[in-house]
Amino acid sequence: MTENRSTTVCVVGGGPAGAMAALLLARAGVEVTLLERHGDFLRDFRGDTVHPATLDVLDQLGLAEKLHARPHHKIGSMSMIRAGKRRELADFRRLKVKFPFITMIGQWDFLDFITGEAARYPNFRLLMNSSLHDVLWANGRVCGVRYRSGEEDHELRSDLVIAADGRRSVTRAAAGLHPRAMGVSIDVVLFRLSRRDDDPTEGITLRLDGGDILGLIDRGSYWQSFVEIPKGDGIRALRAAGIEAFRDTVARLAPFLADRVGELESIDALSFLDVRVDRLRRWHVPGMLVIGDAAHCMSPVGGVGVNLAVQDAVAAANALTAPLLRCRREGIPVPRSALAAVQRRRTPPTAAIQLLQRAALRVDLNGATAGTDTAAEDGAGLVGKLMGRLIAYGIRPERVREKRILAPAGGETER
């Protein structure tokens, strides 16, 4: 064990929830240390969508224009193609808002941007290659973390721990919190195919045929693609059928891709996403708050996980900045009521979206597999109307309330 340190807030996990919470708190003058297990943010097949609600948050911070100076792609709609007929599931272009589109940007680039902004504050510290393996307790409160960096274990004492370490959160488990899983019927296979100039302009499209669903996201130079498979047996069935059968499925669903399905080398070269939907009953214990996927894992429907993670971060910073500053000034622990307030604010929108996602999954799969086309299309139309605004903004979008009180200068990063 080496060198013990202390901080006001230790945020565990440099994903969208943790990075945004760290930026907002640092900007409001709170001393923050962000721990990230990996040495960089480069992870393929993560949520690369930045929704209008998140763009609004960035705009409130004066950062939206700066983000858009990075390479990105704008998507104005989500649609579904079935039996050659296209239906809009959501048209963001019709929203009367400042950012009527989803910005597609590699999640690594987005996180690099957010942590880069946080690093302009001297009270922000980023510890990369630092993996939490336990929380510290004193008098029934979490009072810090134990983490491993390289070959060494460290302890970091803090007034508050924010657990934002994703769907398999070690931090929440270490604090004795376990999410309640909700049943979902699908898993997802992810892959890329090259995009050609004369390909159709698709935005985000679901292509349905004969019980199969292919999702295509136009990323400019390639198609970010996914195929839904039944949970449980789906992967085994895919392996048994082999890559040729999978290529045929993709080509049947999107005939314009038939000339390049050979880019899919083998079943092993595909990525699998174990789709989960779960939620914690309690998002906090004394001295610790859980946010983002660690508090509620979302299904891929609508691609809303990043946005919800960011919204949690804004709600947490809004509710906790004043108690944290007081805590440092007067030595009073952050009251549990402040942590409970974050959960109270974020549970209803999260639960409602999870409910709608599960309903949408039932509409798509039942309709498609059972061949009840009309039911599926009516359902998709109905859900789709609601989904337009919902996908862009969720329910109860958050506004940044805390003012910037520190001028940016330069924080610290250890790799």
Ligand X SMILES: Cc1cc2nc3c(=O)[nH]c(=O)nc-3n(C[C@H](O)[C@H](O)[C@H](O)COP(=O)(O)OP(=O)(O)OC[C@H]3O[C@@H](n4cnc5c(N)ncnc54)[C@H](O)[C@@H]3O)c2cc1C
- Which residues of this chain interact with ligand X, rule CB under 6 A? 12-18, 35-38, 45-49, 131-132, 164-166, 170, 190, 273, 292-294, 298, 300, 303-307, 309
The encoded tokens of residue 85 equal 């007929």
Q: How far is the CB of 47 from ligand X (least distance, A)?
A: 2
Nearer to ligand X, 55 or 325 (CB): 55
C-alpha distances in Å from residue 142, one per residue of 26, 146, 316? 21, 11, 17
Nearer to ligand X, 13 or 287 (CB): 13
What are φ and ψ of residue 175, in 5° steps? -90, 5
Nearer to ligand X, 141 or 172 (CB): 172
Q: How far is the CB of 187 from ligand X (least distance, A)?
A: 11
Nearer to ligand X, 377 or 384 (CB): 384
The encoded tokens of residue 33 equal 């240390």
Nearer to ligand X, 261 or 391 (CB): 391
Nearer to ligand X, 38 or 87 (CB): 38
Q: How far is the CB of 296 from ligand X (least distance, A)?
A: 9
C-alpha 280: how far from chain center: 16
Q: Residue 173, class by beta-carbon neighbours within 10 Å (0-12 exposed, 13-18 middle, 19+ buried)?
A: middle
Q: Which residue has the tokens 């440099």?
A: 14
Tell me how crowded residue 290 is: count the other CB atoms within 10 A of its CB.
31
Closest to 204 (Cα-Cα) out of 284, 336, 83, 93: 93
Phi-psi region of 210 (alpha: psi -120 to 50; beta: other; left: phi over 0): left
Q: How far is the CB of 120 from ligand X (least distance, A)?
A: 21
Q: How far is the CB of 179 from ligand X (least distance, A)?
A: 12
Nearer to ligand X, 166 or 367 (CB): 166
Residue 134 host element (H or E): strand 130-138
Q: How far is the CB of 161 from ligand X (least distance, A)?
A: 11
CA gap 298, 179 in Å, rounded: 12
Closest to 21 (Cα-Cα) out of 388, 387, 349, 342: 342
Signed CA dihedral, 55, 62, 72, 77: sign only = positive
Task: Report the 3 state secondary structure along 252-291.
Answer: HHCHHHHHHHHHCCCHHHCEEECCCEEECCCCEECCEEEC
Nearer to ligand X, 49 or 77 (CB): 49
The encoded tokens of residue 143 equal 């009072």
The encoded tokens of residue 227 equal 């195929």
Q: How far is the CB of 333 from ligand X (least distance, A)?
A: 24
Q: How far is the CB of 309 from ligand X (least distance, A)?
A: 4
CA gap 316, 334 in Å, rounded: 12
Q: Which residue has the tokens 């890329």?
A: 192
Nearer to ligand X, 132 or 380 (CB): 132
CB 39 within 8 A of CB 415: yes
Q: How far is the CB of 166 from ligand X (least distance, A)?
A: 3
Q: How far is the CB of 130 from ligand X (least distance, A)?
A: 6
